[in-house]
């Protein structure tokens, strides 16, 4: 786990919903912000994207809720690059609670998009190199059951 890329925070009172736990929509915002932070730490900043006519769009995502988070509870997000190519990056992020238990997971496929043409494009070479560097440096891990999970009601 590379601490340089781990997001840490605490559940704020305004994030709590009527069920008295972290609101489901807030999980998406937290994970989305963590992806932005990961890219920022890799040099793929908002400013870089604006200056290089390249951004990223989410194509598909899946969030699994595993443990409730309560107000003032600390948590951290551990990002993992599962795969990437010249146009796409497949990320799997895990949220851990203050007991180091898996609280939620977020899987997302993102694609490089031209700011001007609004069409897919290749990531700039220096961004691909950052992905490669991070990918090679991260610890290989066994993926949890939430990875690639398909939603469905089990039938006998």
Q: What is the pLDDT of residue 10?
A: 96
Q: What is the pLDDT of residue 42?
A: 87
Q: What is the pLDDT of residue 140?
A: 86
Q: What is the pLDDT of residue 43?
A: 86
CA angle centred on 84, ends 41 and 60, rounded to 5°:
90
| CB contact at 8 A, 128 and 67 | no
Q: What is the pLDDT of residue 2?
A: 47
Superfamily of 3-137 according to CATH? Hotdog Thioesterase (3.10.129.10)
Q: Is 90 left (phi over 0), alpha (psi -120 to 50) or beta?
A: beta
How far apart, in whole angstroms, are the C-alpha atoms of residue 4 and residue 32? 17
pTM value > 0.85: yes
Q: What is the pLDDT of residue 154?
A: 87
Q: What is the pLDDT of residue 3?
A: 47
How far apart, in whole angstroms, are the C-alpha atoms of residue 99 and residue 55? 36
10-residue mean pLDDT series, the chain (156 residues): 71 95 95 94 90 94 96 96 97 96 97 96 93 91 89 90
Half-sphere exposure of 16 (CA within 13 A, CB side): 13
First and final C-alpha spacing in the chain: 39
């Amino acid at each position: 786990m590379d601490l340089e890329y781990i997001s840490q925070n605490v559940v704020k009172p305004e994030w709590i919903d009527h069920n008295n736990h972290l609101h489901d929509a807030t999980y998406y915002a937290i994970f989305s912000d963590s992806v932005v932070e990961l890219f920022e730490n890799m040099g793929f900043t908002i400013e870089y994207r604006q200056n290089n006519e390249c951004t990223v769009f989410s194509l598909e995502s899946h969030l699994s809720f595993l443990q409730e988070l309560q107000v003032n509870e600390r948590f951290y997000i551990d990002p993992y690059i599962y795969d990437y190519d010249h146009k796409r990056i497949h990320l799997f992020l895990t949220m851990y609670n203050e007991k180091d238990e898996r609280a939620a997971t977020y899987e997302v496929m993102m694609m490089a998009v031209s700011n001007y043409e609004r069409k897919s494009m290749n990531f700039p070479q220096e961004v691909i190199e950052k992905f490669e560097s991070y990918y090679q440096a991260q610890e290989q891990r066994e993926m949890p059951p939430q990875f690639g999970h398909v939603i469905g009601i089990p039938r006998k």
